[in-house]
Amino acid sequence: MRFVLNKAVNISNMNAGIIIIGDEILIGQVVDINSSWISREMNKIGFRTETVITVGDDGKSISDAIDRCLEVADVVFMTGGLGPTKDDITKKVICEKFGTELVLDEKVLANVAEMLGRRGIAMTENNRGQALVPATATVINNAVGTAPGIMMEVSNIPHSVPFVSTSSTGGINSHPEPVEGSIPQKLLFSMPGVPFEMHYLMEREIIPLIKKHYNLKPVFHKTLLLTGIAESILAEKISDWEDSLAKNVRLAYLPAYSSIRLRLSVYQPDDTTESYINAKVEELKKIVPENIIAYEDIKLEELVGKLLKDRHCTVATAESCTGGKVASLITSVSGSSEYYKGSVVSYCNEVKADVLGVSRADLEKYGAVSSTVAEQMASGVRRLLKTDYAVATTGIAGPTGGSDEKPVGTVWIAVATPTKVVSRKYVFGKDRAINIERFAASALSMLIVEMEKEC
Amino acid sequence: MRFVLNKAVNISNMNAGIIIIGDEILIGQVVDINSSWISREMNKIGFRTETVITVGDDGKSISDAIDRCLEVADVVFMTGGLGPTKDDITKKVICEKFGTELVLDEKVLANVAEMLGRRGIAMTENNRGQALVPATATVINNAVGTAPGIMMEVSNIPHSVPFVSTSSTGGINSHPEPVEGSIPQKLLFSMPGVPFEMHYLMEREIIPLIKKHYNLKPVFHKTLLLTGIAESILAEKISDWEDSLAKNVRLAYLPAYSSIRLRLSVYQPDDTTESYINAKVEELKKIVPENIIAYEDIKLEELVGKLLKDRHCTVATAESCTGGKVASLITSVSGSSEYYKGSVVSYCNEVKADVLGVSRADLEKYGAVSSTVAEQMASGVRRLLKTDYAVATTGIAGPTGGSDEKPVGTVWIAVATPTKVVSRKYVFGKDRAINIERFAASALSMLIVEMEKEC
């Protein structure tokens, strides 16, 4: 082992650097969603992402980006450039950079063979190449794909530029200098760019490894889920409460479609932390009593499932403008078949009438985007699929189909419960994809609120 | 001054650099969509984005990022860090870096006053600050927001690091060295981070300005969509063809679930480019005749729509394991109501039997995940929703529910056409979310292949 662990690691100065590799990102064909995911997850364990650098499938650019990140970060994550095709050169760069060579890893090869075998695909020379890893790397097994993760422990950093910056604006906010005589041991991870594979490696292997390596104290987080309030209004309402928080508490607003998560983080927690935070949450409940729908970091679709399981109830959906998005969110949760029976996506009036039993006269009279039709869709699917609850959406996602009276972004959402049917109108923006997301999230929020009222 | 304008600008070497500024991006709260948009637009006019660097609202980081980008790019775009709040310091950094100072621009001030006036908001000291611009900058008026765009013409670059890189991996793919004695003139743009405002400034002002400044030729791209072949097998099959491509052609593999895009790019197109690329595409057709499903950059769900519109046909979906994902993909396409009538998401056997008319005896005999049930689901929804085509999925997304005979990752997909019903089994991996994506993409691919066979 070439390194000595720097024991005096100060958690608040732990930085991450991220390198996103891929020509497809630099020509704008694919949007990078990996860096925000990594930043969010690392933030939870006390790391601040210092920089994200996106480069092409090009050796010098990758090499330079590694240098830049090692200058400012303790842990560097690279995604992409590990696939079986010729343009994937990350591993070669790592070898050149850290003076090692590619060797065949039998365990990785067996994994590649198994992954391909399951899909009935023959192993090629390119696939064998995926089992080549830098000799000095720690291999991180990828159980959900053929490209392994790689960890390099970095102490002797071959900078192509001097470590001490001489930038003329260095005074504005300079980085901590390395402690004299100590060698900051850094970690460099290379992962596949496919988001699901990267998530798997991070969650199962890499984050636990980093926690252990740096002996990180857990960061105390308390996350609340709120709905039915705009971020700016929430910020104003809780401004005094926010000012009253102890200095070591960090508050983050994490707005999503139709909900806001408020996250309280304490980076140096002690025995009093939990009771202090609970007391502050009790204060908050008095300020926004109707908006808090959960006291944990949970997705809307997970909360729907939890509430239904608690009640031993079932739900169905009837979707027009959301076109299956609500169903898709609900069924993204493992075990959802326990409480979710199905959906009728009625993308035309004929299906609304024939399958869901919406009155043709009402469709004619009020139009498909109306309170009446939304309520009949919810009741209709609840009856057809024999469930306790149902939620229905009908609206105009855009970009066309709007009118003065019902502009693009208008949606009616109805919830049918064992005792009643309620509906509500929302008006959002002009972007189709964002509207579908907002409509679907609003449907889940409204279902949650109505379920919570029911008991 | 170290540089003079290099008159012999070589278009193939025209590079862009992008700097995304904002703490909200580095904590993963907001996904950066500006860099992909800028890259796409710049690519169309012949620029290759060389790097994207994301940094926080921090002077030194911004300053360093400017240095890095000016090293490798001819034009540098910065978004963010121009708002009225205290953490927005981009303009200050520009002043320090380029030895100038902030001055009040009366035209910008008038614009800020007018923008605020329209929304009935009073002008604050912070808002007045938005009218301060670096004295040597060219101001780019923002008619849709309060923060102006700024252009700096950069000749004297105060590098904090030497311009000539000494990286050990420089041999892999080195950047063009500046021509001896000539000094490239570079442009630096700073824009607001709000996507809508940034698009406005780029489209109306900045892109026309760059085109004129560099007198540019467009880049030639040809994208092919393939299905039914693994990336590694494709790479092996077309390896000789790939080697035969002219030196100025770049080939990129862009794999997605159940499909791969192959993109050929020519950065110095001339009159012969199109016919040359078409001839190479004809050669490729002979190597993988059954796998190319489109000759343009199109998503599977868009291609489904295109084929249906061409045939004046309609489609419906019946989904079990994909839980609305296929419907959701199809309806993500604007105008899909022309050909998409709806879906029955049958997440339990009861709905498969009661709504779709699947035989209870067959459900019992073959199980829900079977060729028979998939085919009856497809026929059933085609009959129920009165469409020309239908596609059905039934499988085990996981993580639970698998058996030795039908492991997690197994899916039966059936397509019903006006003349027949066909089904096929696929086996993927263990991850629920990935399986759902793969199942849905495979359903779209199979629908496309069957539609293309039909005529």
Angstrom distance (rounded) from CA B209 to CA B198: 15
User: Strand, helix or coil at A170?
Assistant: coil
Q: Sign of the C-alpha dihedral, residues A223, A225, A226, A232?
A: positive
A142-151, A277-286, A288-297, B158-167: which range is least confident on average?
B158-167
Instruction: Tell me what pLDDT residue A2 has.
Output: 27
* A437 in contact with B, Cβ within 8 Å: no
Closest CA to B142 of B186, B104, B196, B209: B196
Q: Which of A48, A93, A124 has the CB atom closest to B233's CB atom? A: A124
Written as six digits, the tokens of B155 are 């000749």
Cβ(B77)–Cβ(A64) under 8 Å?
Answer: no
- Which secondary structure element, helix H or strand E, spans residue B55, and what is its range? strand B48-55
Q: Residue B151 has which token pair?
A: 């252009």
From the number of C-beta atoms within 10 Å of its C-beta (0-12, 13-18, 19+), residue A258 rates as: buried
pLDDT band at B325 (very low <50, low <70, confident <90, very high): very high
Least confidently predicted of A251-255, B162-166, B375-379, B407-411: B162-166
Residue B392 pLDDT class (50, 70, 90 cuts): very high
* pLDDT for A28: 84
Q: What percent of chain B has pLDDT over 70?
A: 89
Asked whether the predicted pLDDT for residue A43 surpasses 90, the reply is no
- Residue B20 in this model has a pLDDT that exceeds 90: yes
User: Mean per-residue pLDDT for A331-351?
Assistant: 97
pLDDT at A173: 32
B93 to chain A: which residues are within 8 Å by CB?
169, 172
Using a CB-CB distance cutoff of 8 angstroms, which residues of chain B are in contact with residue A267? none
Q: pLDDT: is A156 or A89 the higher one? A: A89
Residue B276: what pLDDT?
Answer: 97
Residue-level pLDDT at A13: 61
Does any CB of chain A come closer than 8 Å to the CB of residue B340? yes
The pLDDT value recorded for residue A7 is 30
Closest CA to B149 of B192, B195, B188: B192
Predicted local distance difference test score (pLDDT) of residue A122 = 85
Q: Which residue has the higher pLDDT, B369 or B430?
A: B369
Tell me: pLDDT of B350 over 70.
yes
Say which of A52, A172, A317 has its CB closest to residue B59. Answer: A172
Task: Please say if the pLDDT value at position A50 is more than 90.
Answer: yes
Neighbours of B317 (CB within 10 A): 37
Residue B5's pLDDT is 28
Query: What SS3 class is residue B403?
Result: coil
Q: Which residue of B has its CA nearest to A127?
A: B232
From first CA to last CA, the distance across chain B in angstroms is: 68
Q: What is the structure's pLDDT at A254?
A: 78
Q: Is the pLDDT of residue B128 over 50?
A: yes
Highest mean pLDDT among B110-114, B262-266, B349-353: B349-353
Answer yes or no: is pLDDT of A3 > 90: no
Is B168 close to A161, i.e. CB distance below 8 A? no
Least confident of A44-48, B34-38, B174-178: B174-178
- For residue A65, pLDDT beyond 50: yes
pTM over cut 0.90: no
What separation in angstroms does the CA of A236 have from each of A126, A241, A242, A389?
57, 10, 10, 35
Asked if residue A140 has pLDDT above 60, the reply is yes
**Within the 261-300 window of chain A, which residues sit less than 8 Å (CB to CB) from chain B?**
none
pLDDT at B86: 55
Calpha distance B209→B285 (Å, rounded): 41
DSSP letter at B263?
E
Give pLDDT, residue B256. Answer: 83
The pLDDT value given to residue B152: 95
Is the pLDDT at A157 greater than 70? The verdict is no
pLDDT value at residue B380 = 98
Provide the percentage of residues in chain A whose pLDDT is more than 90: 67
pLDDT at B176 over 70: no
Q: Confidence class of residue B172 from pLDDT cuts 50, 70 and 90?
A: very low
Quick one: pLDDT at residue A322? 98
A351 contacts in chain B (CB < 8 Å): 341-342, 385
| E strand intervals along A162-274 | 186-191, 220-226, 249-256, 259-266
Return mean pLDDT, chain A.
Answer: 87
Model pLDDT, residue A235: 85
Pairing of strands B15-21, B48-55: parallel
ipTM of the complex: 0.77
A127 pLDDT band, cuts 50/70/90, is: confident
pLDDT of residue A167 exceeding 80 = no
Pick from B407, B437, B439, B436: nearest CA to B424: B439
Q: Residue A126 is nearest to which of B232, B252, B326, comparing CB atoms?
A: B232
Are residues B416 and B195 in contact, defined by beta-carbon separation less than 8 angstroms? Answer: no
pLDDT tens for A379-415 read 999 999 999 999 999 999 999 999 999 999 999 999 9
Beta carbons of B224 and B241 less than 8 angstroms apart: no
Digit-coded pLDDT (tens) for A226-268 = 999 887 788 889 999 999 999 889 888 877 888 998 989 887 7
Number of other residues whose CB lies within 10 A of the CB of residue B72: 19
Q: For B182-224, how does the pLDDT look when each residue is reduced to its tens digit (9 = 90+)?
A: 445 899 999 998 888 899 999 999 999 998 888 777 778 899 9
Instruction: Collapse the DSSP code of B384 into the 3-class scheme (helix H, G, I; strand E, B; otherwise coil) and give the result.
Output: helix
Name the H helices within B245-332. Answer: 273-287, 300-311, 325-331
Is residue B49 over pLDDT 80?
A: yes
C-alpha to C-alpha distance for A134 and A100, rounded to whole angstroms: 6
- Residue range A133-146: average pLDDT? 92
Is pLDDT of B239 > 70? yes
Task: Check pLDDT > 80 for residue B119.
Answer: no
* pLDDT top residue among A95 and A232: A95
Query: Closest chain A residue to B62 measured between Cα atoms?
Result: A169
- A63/B contact by beta carbon, under 8 A: yes
SS3 content of chain B, % helix, strand, coil (to 5): 40, 20, 40
Q: Does B52 touch chain A if contact means CB atoms closer than 8 Å? A: yes
Chain A residues within 8 A of B384 when measuring between CB atoms: 354-355
Q: In this predicted model, which residue has the larger pLDDT, A354 or A231? A: A354
For chain A, first and last CA: distance in Å?
A: 60
**pLDDT (tens digit per residue) in A70-89:** 999 999 999 998 877 666 78
**What mean pLDDT comes out for the span B434-443?**
95
Share of chain A above pLDDT 70, in %: 90
Residues from chain B that touch A72, judged by Cβ atoms under 8 A, are 61
**Cβ contact (<8 Å) for A96 and B41?**
no
Question: What is chain B's mean pLDDT, rounded?
Answer: 87
Measured between CB atoms, which of B27, B39, B236 is closest to A27? B39
pLDDT at A377: 98
| Nearest partner of B360 among B413, B351, B318, judged by Cα | B351
- Whether the CB of B88 is below 8 Å from some CB of chain A: the reply is no
Average pLDDT over residues B401-424: 96
Nearest Cα residue in chain A from B196? A431
Check pLDDT > 80 for residue A162.
no
Cα of A54 to nearest chain B Cα, Å: 5
pLDDT value at B170 more than 50: no
Nearest Cα of chain B lies from the Cα of A24 at a distance, in angstroms, of 7
Better-scored residue on pLDDT, B361 or A3:
B361
